[in-house]
A and B are shown apart, each in its own frame.
Chain A
Amino acid sequence: MDNRYSCFFSDMGFLNVAISFIIGISTLIMIRIFYVVYRSSKPLYSRPPGTLSTLIILGSGGHTAEMINLLAVMQMDRFKPRYYIAAATDNMSLQKARVLEDSLPDKAEVELVGTSQFMQIYRSREVGQSYVTSVGTTLIALSHALWLMIKIRPQVILCNGPGTCVPLCVIAFVFKVLGIRWSSIFYVESIARVRRLSLSGLLLYKLRMADQLFVQWPQLKSKYPRANYVGLFQVANFRLYWTSEETEVANHRIFQIKYD
């Protein structure tokens, strides 16, 4: 009897066992992924949770402005600790986030407990960078994103479009599948997108990685039925002095006209 079984295994060989093992694991992972996608589309908690750690991904210019508009109407005491990530070469976004944080009523609590943190992430590719070096920088950016996500492990992610959000959301999705951390990913498409989704939005929509995706124009809602149409909300009443013009040019001369 024993002989027969030992013959069976030695005939099969280690390779076949390994293949069966891989197929088995892959099936389990696929089932887990389907479950994660299914569960993500449903409201999360039946009872109000306590506070939720939140990651806010900032992009340059208009992206940051729209994100600040949204944050201004959210109850910040529910979403803490807050982590802001902006690209390493984007200097103005984190400044604006700091201005927002400083303006919050519970400012004292922010300083004491340190519920907000500001971080920068490497970009995969700068504008005009050659594609050859982009491979290297993308790998660096991905490792950096992974490192930040391991440190932060947020429960909520808010993003609205910049390229920096895709690697972070993908990593968050992987964390969900592996059971490391369940993050609710909310993606708000920019108001400038009327008929087509941006590339980031399209990726997250098609791959079903965002729990909920919001669009601001009805045309997008008809084209992407799983999106949520929330109307236009650019420009809230929040009095934040932000600029619609930012430049990364090193030399600029400012020629201002003073009115008395």
Chain B
Amino acid sequence: MFKSSCLLIISCSEKVKQKIGEYRMGESHDSVKSKRIVFVTVGTTCFDSLVRAVDTQESTGEDGSLSVDYFTFSSSIAEYLKSASLVISHAGSGSIFETLRLKKPLIVVVNEDLMDNHQSELAEELAERNHLFCVFPQTLYQTISGMDLGSLVAYQPGDATPVANFINRFLGFNDE
């Protein structure tokens, strides 16, 4: 699924990391820059099915030449996002918008195990507007094989000013 020139960085739960066993470090730092990076994040949730879908034998190449790095928590993922050429994320609105703001190609994976999955509404709506791809863990592989990143439309960040103006007018502050 991913070419061997990719570096796969996965943020996942401690439990999953231990289950998978040793972490396979990337090669020396010099070669890191020449690799394309796919960043996979599950936010602060437990989304083991995504990690399993990504970290399969077929996705990492038979010869294990794909470099994979794991971490459980980072106070800011902005740096990882900036250096990624593709982001695969859970459906959290924070992760989604942080990625869209950096104009990175984004695949959102919906976690069916979550109760009251209102998050998927946002992912589906943005997918309908062609800002990202929205999939389930089982369909991740097919989507990546067949996707056309050129069909994605950039997301224009909005602005909170209309709300502020409304509040001001409501309270009697007249600006005009």
The answer to whether A237 touches B72, judged by C-beta atoms less than 8 angstroms apart, is no
Query: For the complex, what is the distance from the CA of A44 to the CA of B170, rounded to whole Å?
Result: 6
The answer to whether B94 touches A245, judged by C-beta atoms less than 8 angstroms apart, is yes
A contact residues around B71 at 8 Å (CB): 253-256
Instruction: Indicate if A214 sits at the interface (CB-CB under 8 A).
Output: yes
The answer to whether B94 touches A62, judged by C-beta atoms less than 8 angstroms apart, is yes
Instruction: Indicate if A200 sits at the interface (CB-CB under 8 A).
Output: no
Query: For the complex, what is the distance from the CA of A189 to the CA of B86, rounded to whole Å?
Result: 30
A contact residues around B118 at 8 Å (CB): 192-193, 196, 198
Instruction: Indicate if A7 sits at the interface (CB-CB under 8 A).
Output: no
The answer to whether A73 touches B160, judged by C-beta atoms less than 8 angstroms apart, is yes
User: A246 and B160 in contact (CB under 8 A), knowing A195-B121, A241-B78?
Assistant: no
How many residues of B sit at the interface, in one of the four size bands?
35 or more
Query: For the complex, what is the distance from the CA of A185 to the CA of B159, rounded to whole Å?
Result: 21
Instruction: Indicate if B9 sits at the interface (CB-CB under 8 A).
Output: yes
Q: Which of A163-171, A172-180, A227-235 contacts B (4 or more CB under 8 A)?
A: A227-235
B149-176, CB < 8 A from A: 157-164, 166-174
Query: For the complex, what is the distance from the CA of A235 to the CA of B100, rounded to whole Å?
Result: 10
The answer to whether A244 touches B72, judged by C-beta atoms less than 8 angstroms apart, is no
A contact residues around B77 at 8 Å (CB): 243-245
A115-155, CB < 8 A from B: none
A180-221, CB < 8 A from B: 184, 186, 188, 190-196, 198, 211-212, 214, 216-217
Instruction: Indicate if B92 sits at the interface (CB-CB under 8 A).
Output: yes
Contact of B93 among A195, A234, A241, A243 (CB under 8 A): A234
Instruction: Indicate if A104 sits at the interface (CB-CB under 8 A).
Output: no
The answer to whether B121 touches A194, judged by C-beta atoms less than 8 angstroms apart, is yes
A contact residues around B98 at 8 Å (CB): 235, 244
Instruction: Indicate if A10 sits at the interface (CB-CB under 8 A).
Output: no
The answer to whether B163 touches A230, judged by C-beta atoms less than 8 angstroms apart, is yes
Instruction: Indicate if B70 sits at the interface (CB-CB under 8 A).
Output: yes
B contact residues around A258 at 8 Å (CB): 29
A contact residues around B162 at 8 Å (CB): 230-231, 233
User: A253 and B72 in contact (CB under 8 A), knowing A44-B170, A61-B94, A245-B43?
Assistant: yes
Query: For the complex, what is the distance from the CA of A194 to the CA of B169, rounded to whole Å?
Result: 26
A contact residues around B101 at 8 Å (CB): 235
Q: Which residue of B lies closest to A65 (CB)?
A: B94
Instruction: Indicate if A37 sits at the interface (CB-CB under 8 A).
Output: no
A contact residues around B172 at 8 Å (CB): 43-49
Instruction: Indicate if A33 sits at the interface (CB-CB under 8 A).
Output: no
Instruction: Indicate if B76 sits at the interface (CB-CB under 8 A).
Output: yes
A62-99, CB < 8 A from B: 62, 65, 69-70, 72-75, 78
Instruction: Indicate if A156 sits at the interface (CB-CB under 8 A).
Output: yes
The answer to whether B158 touches A214, judged by C-beta atoms less than 8 angstroms apart, is no
The answer to whether A74 touches B169, judged by C-beta atoms less than 8 angstroms apart, is no
Q: Which residue of A lies closest to B30 (CB)?
A: A260
The answer to whether B41 touches A245, judged by C-beta atoms less than 8 angstroms apart, is yes
Instruction: Indicate if A22 sits at the interface (CB-CB under 8 A).
Output: no
Q: How far in angstroms is the closest Cβ of chain A from B14?
A: 7
Query: For the complex, what is the distance from the CA of A251 to the CA of B11, rounded to whole Å?
Result: 15
Q: How far in angstroms is the closest Cβ of chain A from B153?
A: 14
A6-28, CB < 8 A from B: none
Q: Which residue of A lies closest to B44 (CB)?
A: A247
Q: Which residue of A lies closest to B71 (CB)?
A: A255
Q: Contacts A234-B97, A255-B23 known; list 11 others, CB within 8 Å.
A: A48-B172, A62-B92, A62-B94, A74-B164, A191-B93, A230-B162, A246-B44, A253-B71, A257-B9, A259-B79, A260-B29
Cβ contacts A to B, 25 pairs, < 8 Å = A48-B174, A49-B171, A49-B172, A49-B173, A62-B92, A62-B94, A184-B171, A192-B121, A193-B121, A194-B122, A195-B121, A212-B167, A212-B170, A214-B163, A235-B97, A241-B76, A243-B75, A245-B75, A245-B95, A253-B71, A254-B72, A255-B71, A257-B69, A259-B32, A260-B29
- Ordered nearest first, which 7 A-B pairs have the shortest CB separation? A244-B94, A45-B172, A255-B71, A192-B93, A233-B158, A232-B158, A194-B121
